[in-house]
């Protein structure tokens, strides 16, 4: 009776929200592309551009707070702060002209550099706001390649400056590439072996695949060459037609201010005649950094990752971002981390008015999700994307002051999944995990309607781990495959795969030819994760003779790299495998389900370091991905589309990751005072989530 009353109250609450929001016009859905399956590009409707709003009468070219500084001689004139007229970027995604001033409040936890970062970041290239998956120039003015994509030319904006007023030029890009992001290279531009005395890692500690190509079984790093201050080339040893797209995903901020970092990077190239980049040791660089940043790093490697990779954390680092930090308190719980407009920001609206419109973005650092929800419910948060369980609460409380916007989700179903390591160390388990009928038994052995009632207040539908409805690649057959509850058939399938089981209470099946219980160990990074979900599936699988155990490992990600995780809860979130394949193709070993297949690919298709060469459909995934990556010429789009569909079909046939419920839409609850918020976009990591709202075009108005 209690469950019925609870569900009834939820239904009533949802009805009230629906009624309250009726006619708001913001419950937007994906616009069909009209394509029946010949395009790999997800197409999403975006807010229609409108004429300048009537209330904007004062078309000043810069924010009053900056004009005051100019008048006092504290800041150069606007024309001396932004690129020359022919090179300045006119932001095409501004919905309507805005007014200067005000701020918006958002929330983040104390590890939230990745949550607030997209509000400010600016990549060399960026994905278009329309969800097409196409990239366009952003920091750069223009980019193009030769016929096969082996040589790329990037043109920068003349007169563009860092946030400290220093010029941004090709030197900043080449400095970053040659000295901060490339490990030690041989003369042929292959990487020096790790065990070589000449080896050193890149300053940022992360080598990027977007700068490498495979040829004759080896990986070669690109070569950057300066043409002039505002033009450089990138040359590959083999065609790289997807270079710009890969950079937009992998290393969008492919630059650092050389004038600032020259004292913190120990140059390794042996060049001694560059007065703009003094030759210093790692010890000297570490000492300089600790003094400048007020830190106590004990190793050059740690310092390099912090100030090179996570450079936006530090207020003293010059940026190209739209908003910049004023102090380094982004990880201080209870404080407000303030990001103020960059006075040298290089974008303008259609009237030549410098962006951003807002004075600042205020980030409230809150670790407890309940506290964030309380503040959102009180109307104190201007831009809030609630968890599904909190949506009704916040939406009802703020229905008079906020508007709901629904963005497209790229998630393959809900977060509740079972990903079985296809190269599990236990060979008996590996054989089972690789058997499609075993995965079918696991899938149909759980009643998804009960999961939905418990985990999503009955909002979610039974759903496989599959492309969400409305996105390219969606298939109803795939979405519903193995989702109907069938414990009888599940037991029949398992009876053929295991030793006979007498179904006695408290006993479990034995794996074929062994006396070992059929046990699946789920690794979690935190003991508090997914408790209700695990409890439910434990109950269902016990009825099938399968034992579920959990293992907590704070370094779960490292355990996956070492193939020490046999089962994980991980959900793909992918706009398209043509853009970001690593969630759904075994090209890296950071996902549980791909295991050592990913290691094999990442090591250049080698088994020398423990990788395992895939076969069958797993190998077909790799082949399809490589066909996408290597596609050139007039048939390139056709080849890409064909192989994107092939990757999806392979997942549909195999269900390597078992899903249970449908994905929740990505919903934003936005203060009505905040203008120019896009009606819809695709919320996904490769598009950088909040970056799709183009925060520099947001503005505040009481009207």
b/e per residue 448-465 (b: at least 16 CB within 10 A): beebbbebbbbbbbbbbb
Reading the block at residue 129, the tokens are: 């706001």
Q: What is the pTM of this model?
A: 0.85
The answer to whether residues 640 and 631 touch, using CB atoms and an 8 Å cutoff, is yes
What is each CA distance from 318 to 193, 307, 338, 480, 614, in whole angstroms?
34, 12, 16, 50, 45
Looking at 456-517, list the stretches that DSSP marks H as alpha helix, in order from N- to C-terminal side: 476-480, 487-497
Compute the half-sphere exposure of residue 308: CA atoms within 13 Å on the CB side of its CA: 29
The answer to whether residues 673 and 649 touch, using CB atoms and an 8 Å cutoff, is no
Q: Which CATH class is domain 123-313?
A: alpha beta
The answer to whether residues 690 and 682 touch, using CB atoms and an 8 Å cutoff, is no
Spans of the chain below 50 pLDDT:
1-54
How many residues does the structure list for the chain?
Answer: 703
**Cis amide linkage into residue 356, ω under 30° from 0:** yes
CA–CA dist 529, 416 (Å, integer): 11
What is each CA distance from 639 to 294, 325, 536, 648, in whole angstroms?
53, 44, 43, 14
Average pLDDT, the chain: 90
The CATH number of the structural domain formed by 2-110+323-411+666-700 is 3.40.190.10
Angle at 27 between CA 25 and CA 30, to 5 degrees: 115
Work out the number of other CB atoms within 10 angstroms of the CB of residue 67: 16
Reading the block at residue 441, the tokens are: 């038994």
Measured in degrees and rounded to the nearest 5, phi and psi for residue 391 equal -60, -50
Residues whose CB falls within 8 Å of the CB of residue 84, separated by 6 or more in sequence, listed in order: 158, 159
Reading the block at residue 194, the tokens are: 């790790």
The CATH number of the structural domain formed by 417-659 is 3.10.105.10
370-412: pLDDT as tens digits: 999 999 999 999 999 998 889 999 999 999 999 999 998 899 9
Per-domain boundaries in the chain = 2-110+323-411+666-700, 123-313, 417-659
Confidence at residue 635, expressed as pLDDT on a 0 to 100 scale? 92
The answer to whether residues 678 and 95 touch, using CB atoms and an 8 Å cutoff, is yes
- CA nearest to 151, candidates 255, 249, 231, 237: 237
Confidence at residue 684, expressed as pLDDT on a 0 to 100 scale? 92
572-592: pLDDT as tens digits: 999 999 999 999 999 988 999
| Torsion (CA) 490, 496, 498, 503 in degrees, nearest 10 | 50
Q: Tell me if residue 402 falls in helix, strand or coil.
A: strand
Residues whose CB falls within 8 Å of the CB of residue 471, separated by 6 or more in sequence, listed in order: 30, 42, 408, 410, 575
Question: Residue 667: left if φ>0, alpha if ψ -120 to 50, beta else—which one?
Answer: beta
């Amino acid at each position: 009776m209690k469950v019925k009353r609870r569900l009834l109250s939820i239904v009533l609450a949802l009805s009230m929200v629906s009624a309250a929001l009726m006619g708001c016009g913001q419950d937007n859905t994906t616009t069909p592309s009209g394509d029946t399956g010949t395009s790999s590009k997800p197409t999403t409707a975006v807010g229609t551009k409108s004429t300048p709003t009537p209330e904007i009468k004062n078309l000043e070219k810069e924010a009053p707070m900056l004009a005051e500084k100019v008048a006092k001689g504290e800041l150069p004139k606007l024309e001396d702060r932004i690129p020359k007229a022919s090179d300045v970027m006119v932001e095409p995604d501004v919905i309507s002209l805005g007014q200067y001033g005000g701020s918006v409040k958002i929330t983040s936890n104390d590890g939230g550099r990745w949550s607030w970062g997209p509000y400010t970041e600016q990549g060399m290239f960026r994905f278009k706001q329309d969800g097409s998956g196409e990239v366009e120039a952003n920091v750069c003015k223009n980019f193009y390649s030769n016929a096969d994509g082996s040589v790329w030319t990037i043109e920068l904006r003349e007169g563009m400056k860092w946030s400290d007023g220093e010029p941004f030029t090709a030197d900043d890009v080449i400095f970053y590439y040659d000295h901060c992001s490339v490990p030690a290279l041989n003369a042929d531009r292959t990487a020096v072996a790790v065990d070589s005395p000449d080896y050193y890692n890149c300053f940022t500690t992360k080598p990027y695949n977007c700068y490498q190509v495979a040829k004759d079984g080896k990986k070669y790093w690109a070569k950057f060459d300066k043409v002039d201050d505002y033009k450089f080339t990138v040359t590959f040893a083999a065609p790289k037609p997807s270079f710009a797209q890969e950079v937009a995903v992998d290393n969008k901020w492919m630059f650092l201010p050389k004038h600032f970092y020259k004292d913190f990077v120990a140059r390794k190239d042996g060049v001694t005649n560059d007065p703009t980049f003094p030759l210093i040791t790692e010890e000297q660089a570490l000492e300089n950094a600790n003094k400048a940043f007020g830190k106590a790093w004990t190793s050059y490697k740690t310092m390099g990752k912090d100030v090179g990779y996570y450079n936006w954390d530090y207020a003293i680092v010059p940026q190209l971002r739209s908003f910049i930090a004023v102090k380094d308190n982004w990880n201080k719980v209870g404080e407000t981390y303030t990001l103020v407009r960059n006075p040298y920001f290089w974008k303008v609206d259609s009237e030549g008015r410098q962006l951003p419109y807002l004075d600042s973005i205020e980030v409230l650092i809150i670790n407890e999700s309940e506290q964030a929800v309380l503040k959102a419910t009180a109307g104190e948060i201007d831009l809030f994307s609630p968890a599904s369980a909190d949506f009704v609460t916040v939406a009802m409380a703020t229905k008079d002051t906020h508007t709901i916007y629904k963005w497209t989700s790229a998630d393959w179903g809900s977060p509740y999944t079972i990903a079985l390591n296809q190269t599990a160390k236990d060979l008996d388990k590996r054989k089972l995990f690789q058997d499609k009928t075993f995965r079918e038994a696991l899938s149909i052995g759980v009643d998804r309607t009960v999961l939905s009632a418990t985990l999503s207040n009955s909002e979610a539908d039974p759903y496989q781990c599959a492309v969400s409805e409305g996105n390219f690649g969606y298939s109803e057959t795939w979405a519903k495959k193995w989702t109907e509850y069938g414990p009888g058939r599940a037991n029949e399938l398992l009876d053929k795969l295991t030793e006979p089981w007498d179904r006695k209470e408290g006993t479990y099946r034995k794996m074929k030819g062994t006396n070992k219980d059929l046990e699946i160990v789920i690794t979690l990074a935190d003991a508090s994760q997914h408790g209700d979900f695990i409890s439910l599936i434990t109950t269902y699988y016990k009825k099938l003779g399968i034992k579920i155990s959990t293992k907590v490992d704070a370094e779960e990600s490292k355990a996956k790299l070492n193939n020490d995780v046999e089962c994980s809860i991980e959900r793909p979130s992918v706009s398209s495998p043509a853009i970001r394949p690593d969630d759904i193709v075994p090209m890296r070993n950071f996902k549980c389900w791909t295991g050592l297949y990913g290691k094999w690919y990442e090591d250049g298709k080698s088994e020398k370091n423990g990788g395992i060469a895939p076969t069958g459909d797993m190998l077909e995934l790799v082949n399809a991905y490589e066909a996408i990556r290597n596609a050139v010429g007039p048939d390139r789009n056709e080849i890409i589309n064909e192989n994107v569909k092939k990757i999806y079909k392979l997942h549909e046939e195999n269900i390597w990751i078992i899903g249970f419920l449908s994905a929740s839409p990505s919903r934003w609850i936005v203060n009505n005072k905040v203008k120019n918020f896009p009606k819809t976009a695709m919320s996904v990591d490769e598009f950088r989530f909040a970056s799709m709202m183009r925060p520099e075009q947001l503005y505040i108005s009481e009207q």
